[in-house]
Chain A
Amino acid sequence: MSDAPITTRNLDHFFGTGDARKQAIFDINLDIARGSLTILMGPSGSGKTTLLTLIGCLRDVKDGQVRVLGHELNGASEAVLVGLRRRLGFIFQAHNLHESLTATQNVTMGLQVHGRGDAVKQRKAAHHVLDLLGLADRRDYLPGNLSGGQKQRVAVARALVSNPEIILADEPTAALDKESGHTVVQMLKSLGKARGITTVMVTHDPRILEMADRIITLEDGRIISDELK
């Protein structure tokens, strides 16, 4: 296998058991280059999310191989999986911010997963990322008082604050209007590039496609096209 941060070989995934057993993805072989922005496309139900959750250590890999940051996921212990998750950043379709925590506190949660730390330093780091994402004047707002785009930017800040090596994002702009969606991805991309983060993102937004280094299209669980820009 190559030394790419993400590689998959002969990757299949099944849902259900017995008669209900259904294959969601078929024989996926990928090497994703460090620091690249890869877009996953394809109709609904084509297996994009399944692939992302397998790479993200959120689902057990049972058939085939997935290597993330040098670790084989098939048969990996829970401890290894949890350790890997801490080196990834997730951005979901819904922001999933904690309603009772301020923007800064939500972002801090991305740091505290690495253990007890200097609270002042953590707050500074959270402020720094929020500032980069244009939320300097919203640091102490609760999610309830932020717009959709602002909330998603807080979620991006939370994913970025711990300097992850990989960012996995599943339709991060689906819940946003075009303009703010574009802003979010623009920021994600430029920060990712600056820090050498490998990003895999599911999206349908044509304007975002222009920013991609690579576009992979799935259909019925198989890769039907894979183009490098």
Chain B
Amino acid sequence: MSRLLTLLFGRLPIGWLQLTHSRGRFFAAVAGVAFANLLVFMQLGIMGALNGSTVAPYAMLNADIILSSEDGNTLTDDGHIARARMYQALGVAGVIDATPLFVGNLPFTLEDGSAVSLLSFGVDVTKPQFSTPAIAPKLGQLTLESTALLDEGTRGMPAEVIDDLMDGVRFEFETGGNTLTAIGTMEVGGGFLADGMMIMSDQTFLRVFPSRTSGAPNHILVRTADGVAVETVVARLKDALPSGNLRIQSMEASAANDLAYMATERPTGIIFGFGVFMGILVGLVIVYQVLSTDVADHLREYATFKAMGYGQPFFLGIVFEEAIVLAVFGFIPGFFVSMGLYAGLVSVTGLPVEMDASRAILVFLGTLAACSLSGAIATRRLANADPAELF
């Protein structure tokens, strides 16, 4: 290691030798950096899962534009608009099709007595073109009264039920005084929004949500003609439709807004953002503490080097070398322990917590930057190394 670094720097790797000379301190510092990495990885992992589950329902839908009420903040929030907007929208150039979308949360008590909530979507089953290809062919079965497709990843649902459903065995259950029959599955992944999801016909939806009416869906989905820019149609719709309590945006924009809302306005998003911040802060403080103590402990040696004619760049080089060593050696265990914890989280919560390469690279670069910043602050102590005081 030392040889390699000598070759790399063209000088002795003093930072490396100095750090590893006091083993206890070195391991404490590495553990500190690893811990900070772990904090950041966990927060980012959960935040990623939060984001993933925020936009997961969009993956079921196949539309270009969504009309929503301004009362609702996201796709799955309350707030409805008049069905009449759908007919108005159909009259706008570039719009080829439109359909209402109903959304509601259905509480459901499992056999073991635990309560789960199922995010339920009511769709017009005669318009499968508004669903993704994986779901569209199954919509025909939902014309049967009181039937639904159940999310495979529904939390708390016994594995046999899902397995049976996949094998074509129906599953009947009570919810709010109504009996529903799950006749098939779909793959969405619930995550933070609910324990699971369901799709049913708009008729079934209105039966299980008696307070809702067919004249007031949550959203209206719009498909545009090929060759017309979605944004152009959005602009036309904005011109044509009455502006009161109506939000018109592309599906992409709607998903992006949902993400931004969850990340910055909802307490969960803020808490996880704060967690990342805390992780970075912990790392900064630990590395600063280690490096500045290290500089203070070696002031005499540094002063001697100054007397010998070494200049400021040399000393900065040592401190940054130490910072980079700590970043690299702290990141490696931090990364692997995080991978382990991610796997644990997935098996316990079913949340889509995944390590992706871009996150790993981002955290590594962040670690390098934070360590360098700490190093830069620690170098201020170098000014205390006065060679005239040595004699």
Contacts and interface: CB of A to CB of B under 8 A. Distances in A.
Nearest to B314: A113
B10 interface: yes
B387 interface: yes
Contacts of A82: 309, 311
A22 interface: no
Interface string A89-103: 010111011111100
B171 interface: no
A101 B17 contact: yes
Contact of A98 (B7, B14, B391): B14
Interface stretch (A49-57, A175-183, A184-192): A49-57
Contact of B390 (A83, A88, A92, A112): A92
Contacts of A88: 309
Contacts of B20: 100
Query: Considering residues B10, B303, B308, which has the most beta carbons from chain A within 10 angstroms of its beta carbon?
Result: B308
B174 interface: no
A119 B21 CA distance: 22
A96 B304 contact: yes
A52 to B, nearest CB: 6
A85 B307 contact: yes
Contacts of B261: none
A119 B307 contact: no
Contacts of B303: 96
Contacts of A112: 11-12
Contacts of B308: 85-86, 90, 109-110, 113, 158
Contacts of B390: 58, 90, 92, 94, 96
Main secondary structure of the interface of B (DSSP, over half): helix
Interface residues of B, number: 25
A46 B6 CA distance: 44
B18 interface: yes
Nearest to B9: A116
Contacts of B27: none
B301 interface: yes
B305 interface: yes
A105 interface: yes
A100 B17 contact: yes
A52 B390 CA distance: 11
Given A92-B391, A105-B12, 15 more contacts: A49-B391, A58-B387, A58-B390, A82-B309, A83-B309, A96-B303, A96-B390, A97-B301, A98-B298, A98-B301, A100-B18, A100-B21, A101-B12, A101-B17, A112-B11
Interface of B: 6-7, 10-12, 14, 17-18, 20-21, 298, 300-301, 303-305, 307-311, 387-388, 390-391
Interface of A: 49, 52-53, 56, 58-59, 82-83, 85-86, 88, 90, 92-94, 96-101, 105, 108-110, 112-113, 116-117, 119, 158, 170
- A-B residue pairs, 6 tightest by C-beta: A100-B21, A86-B309, A116-B10, A85-B309, A96-B304, A58-B388
